[in-house]
Each structure stands twice: as structure tokens, then as C-alpha cells.
């Protein structure tokens, strides 16, 4: 999935949802609750299917028709899906960066303010990670539905589906860390290691990303790989 390398985001935009009067997103406006999820936090297959059925009923997922019109609608849907993914991905990258800055500040000067900042961005990170995981599950359902229809976009849809599944693997790895009750403790430990290794790494945030990507099981894969 190719998204802009850097998108300017502010805290006030973190609660926004994708969509407009003319473009409708795949994600429900409000996140699904615990009863809609498996024990690992993923949406139940039945819930994903309900969402797909609703999207088809509202016309977001086009119904087969004249080949040229159907092709155009499917192409537009793929573009909108990528735009929606990148919308939430930009916010996720932003809070990951803020979270690491907060942990770094707390390591240097551990105060109530720095602890509050870390908890604030940790919650945002967890929420946006879940939104992206939900979106990918829905995208998988949408692409499966599209492939079951007669279309000349099969190769493009399959390539798109592979990219989105690769992104999900990274998200799940990150989710296992940030959902842990010891998430901040783990990050603090890695900062200690980073300080001990500071002679080998440049003393800036990009260097911190590089080091933590190696020792923290890819928590910052998105931020680091998207850096220009």
C-alpha cells in the first residue's frame, strides 16, 4: 500500500473519520464493540460479512452491470479504499511518532506531565491500530466479493489484496506490543538500550526508530519505512 510519505496531522484531527457527502468509507462511523470481536481483538467473520452486506446495500460496493460502467465503479472503489487506508495510516504514523517522543521525554525527565502524554498517545495508537486492522478485514471482504464478480480487474485486485495483507501482518505485530499492559515499560527498556548504544547510533529520532525497529519487533515499521 503506497501512501504519502509525510502528511501534516494535528491532535485535533485524530478523532476524524474518513468520508464526505460524495465518498463513503468502508469503516462504520463508530468502532465495533467487544461483543463483535474475537478474543484476539479481530472482528468476527459474521460481523465483517454484515458490514459487507450493508456496503453492498448502500451501493458503496457496486453491483455487476454493464461492463464499462461496472469497471469504472470498481476502479473508483479501489481508489477510495486506498484513500481511506492512507487517511487512517497518516494519523497512526503521527501518534506513533508522538508516543516515542513522549517515552523519550519520560526517560530523560519522568514527570506526571510526561507520563500523561505517553498514556494519551498510547491510547490513540491502540485505537488507530484497531481501526486499521478493522479496515483491512473489511477490505479483504470487499476484494473477495469483487473477485467473485465478473471483472477485468482481477490482477489489480489481487495485487491490492496482497499489499493490504502485508500491511496487516505489520499492524498485528505492533498491536501485540502496544496492547500489552507493559507497553510503556518495554519501550522504556529499549530506550535504556538505545542510550547504552548511543555511540553506535546517531542521537536523533530517526536513529531511535532504526534501533527500535531492530529490538522492539517492528513497532515503528510504518514510521521508519515511510520516512523520506
Q: Residue 171: what pLDDT? A: 77
Average pLDDT, the chain: 76
pLDDT, tens digit (0-9, with 9 covering 90-100), for 25-76: 999 989 999 999 998 888 999 999 999 999 999 999 888 766 678 878 888 8
- Decide if 109 is inside a domain: yes
Q: What is the mean pLDDT of residues 121-128?
A: 89
Closest CA to 82 of 141, 166, 152, 18: 18
- Decide if 79 is inside a domain: yes
Does residue 192 register a pLDDT over 70?
A: no
- Cβ-based neighbours of 51, under 8 Å, separated by 6 or more: 26, 28, 138, 141
Q: Residue 3: what pLDDT? A: 79
Helices 183-196 and 112-148: angle between axes, nearest 10 degrees: 110
- Decide if 161 is inside a domain: yes
How many Å apart are CA 71 and CA 216, to the nearest integer? 43
What phi and psi, each to the nearest 5 degrees, are found at residue 73?
-65, -40
More confident call, 121 vs 175? 121
pTM as predicted = 0.74
Q: What is the mean pLDDT of residues 120-139?
A: 90
Q: What is the mean pLDDT of residues 11-22?
A: 92
- Decide if 201 is inside a domain: no
Domain count, the chain: 1
- Decide if 10 is inside a domain: no
Q: Which three cell numbers stand for residue 48?
A: 465483517
- Decide if 97 is inside a domain: yes
Amino acid at each position: 500500500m503506497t501512501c504519502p510519505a509525510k502528511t501534516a496531522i494535528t491532535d485535533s484531527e485524530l478523532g476524524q473519520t474518513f468520508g464526505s457527502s460524495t465518498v463513503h468509507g468502508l469503516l462504520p462511523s463508530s468502532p465495533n464493540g467487544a461483543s463483535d470481536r474475537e478474543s484476539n481483538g479481530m472482528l468476527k467473520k459474521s460481523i465483517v460479512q454484515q458490514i459487507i452486506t450493508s456496503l453492498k446495500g448502500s451501493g458503496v460496493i457496486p453491483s455487476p452491470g454493464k461492463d464499462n460502467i461496472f469497471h469504472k465503479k470498481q476502479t473508483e472503489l479501489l481508489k477510495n479504499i486506498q484513500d481511506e487506508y492512507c487517511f487512517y495510516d497518516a494519523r497512526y504514523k503521527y501518534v506513533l511518532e508522538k508516543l516515542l517522543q513522549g517515552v523519550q521525554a519520560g526517560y530523560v525527565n519522568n514527570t506526571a506531565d510526561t507520563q500523561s502524554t505517553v498514556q494519551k498517545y498510547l491510547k490513540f495508537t491502540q485505537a488507530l491500530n484497531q481501526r486499521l486492522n478493522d479496515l483491512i478485514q473489511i477490505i479483504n471482504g470487499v476484494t473477495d466479493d469483487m473477485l467473485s464478480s465478473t471483472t477485468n480487474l482481477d490482477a489489480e485486485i489481487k495485487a491490492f489484496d496482497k499489499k493490504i495483507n502485508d500491511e496487516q501482518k505489520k499492524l498485528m505485530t505492533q498491536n501485540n506490543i502496544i496492547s500489552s499492559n507493559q507497553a510503556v515499560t518495554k519501550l522504556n527498556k529499549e530506550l535504556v538500550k538505545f542510550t547504552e548504544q548511543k555511540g553506535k547510533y546517531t542521537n536523533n529520532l530517526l536513529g531511535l526508530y532504526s534501533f527500535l525497529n531492530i529490538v522492539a519487533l517492528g513497532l515503528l515499521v510504518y514510521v521508519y519505512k515511510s520516512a523520506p
